[in-house]
Homo-oligomer: A and B are copies of this chain.
Amino acid sequence: MQARLDLKRPEPVAVPKPSQAEALDALRLARSRNVGPSTWVRLVRRFGSPARALEALPDLAGRGGAAGVTVASIGQAEREVEAGAAAGATLLVWGRAGYPAALARIPDPPPVLWVRGDPAALSRPSIAIVGARNASAVGLRMARALAADLGRQCLWTVSGLARGVDGAAHDAALSVADEGGGTVAAVAGCVRDVYPSDHAALAERIAQAGAVVSEAPIGLAPQGRHFPRRNRVIAGLSRAVILIEAAARSGSLITADFALEQGREVLAVPGSPLDPRSEGGNALIRQGATLVRHVDDVIEALEAAASTVLDDPDAATGLPAPQAEAPGLAEPDAPFARSPLSAAPDDAALRARIRDLLGLAPVEEDELARLSGAPLSALADVLLELELAGRLDRRPGGLVALLPE
């Protein structure tokens, strides 16, 4: 039995904004020191809402060993909301209506998203097309052909607004808007001042017909370290990532890595081994990525992926099962699912035991639980405290280490 993807019927998505108060709390928590995306989600799951997490923050960080904790002020959050409104952007909050379900399922989803354009565009069935800035004419032709042909099948294109493959894919997807196509740009800087600036007009067209999205505060200029983080959003919004012309160690390969980590399909267009721009794609194909020649190969890969998860209630979306208990789309201000309290706040002996076990060399959380004799939930609390105090380094694969002081 072959599961057919029903691509023609996008689900209707209502997009109520989070309440003003909750939006401010979510932003404050997201902009507080040592609160990265996965910590934000951990805190909200642990305490039930951004507001309660904010209340708990100083104590937690103190127990982790921080002298003082830098919680973002209400004023800072209000200024960000005003700037967003002035830029015509909408704020989406993880776990709240309007936040794209596919992105909510990745291991470290952005707590907040600023969107210029239609937030519902983020929930369209989409495919990421990424590749080299210095793409060849042939690479650009492939990007255009795939984006347009996917659009005609009502599959939107997600990309990163960069020069080269990204720009060609966005533009071609826009060109088939009247046939069902469209596009979303996930940018590394803020959604108001797009980078590169010579793509400002393209970004405007994308915002008119689709969406430009970023987790960055309005006004943030992108720095090098923002681009890899942005790539996890590109993959997270998509059912599959297609790589076109990517050199070894390029950003596009990082996007492919995120896609694998997120359980999304990875596809690549091959090229001559004598062209360095083919290195990334050819290497991925050797590692098991699907070789793509034309749109039919993409559809076939999506159908195959859907048929392998037939027993899964999420099969219809072609998306992997949620990570842990990702919340559904709740109404604003409804409580989030909460973990029970576990480590007594005053269990100093347990804290000391766990801290003594930690060093600069990464160790598995499971191993730490075994060695300390602590229940996993209590261990998680202590690690959260250390994280908020800026003393814990989380690595992929559930590894943790102390940061050098």
Contacts and interface: CB of A to CB of B under 8 A. Distances in A.
Interface of A: 138, 141-142, 269-275, 278-279, 282-283, 285-286, 290-294, 297
A337 to B, nearest CB: 43
Contact of A142 (B269, B271, B273, B294): B273
Most B CB contacts (10 A, CB to CB) among A142, A269, A275, A291 go to A291
Given A270-B273, A286-B290, 8 more contacts: A138-B272, A141-B274, A269-B272, A270-B270, A270-B272, A271-B272, A282-B291, A286-B293
Q: Nearest 8 pairs between A and B by C-beta?
A: A270-B270, A273-B293, A286-B291, A138-B272, A285-B291, A271-B272, A138-B274, A282-B293
A338 to B, nearest CB: 48
7 contacts: A138-B274, A142-B273, A269-B273, A270-B271, A270-B278, A270-B291, A291-B291
A286 B283 CA distance: 14
Contacts of A141: 274
Nearest to A286: B291
Copies of this subunit: 2
B286 A273 contact: no
Contacts of A138: 272, 274-275
A291 B285 CA distance: 7
Contacts of A282: 270, 291, 293
Nearest to A284: B291
Contacts of A285: 270, 285, 291
Given A285-B285, A286-B297, A297-B286, A142 B291 contact: no
Nearest to A274: B138
A280 to B, nearest CB: 12
Nearest to A145: B274
A285 B270 CA distance: 10
A150 to B, nearest CB: 15
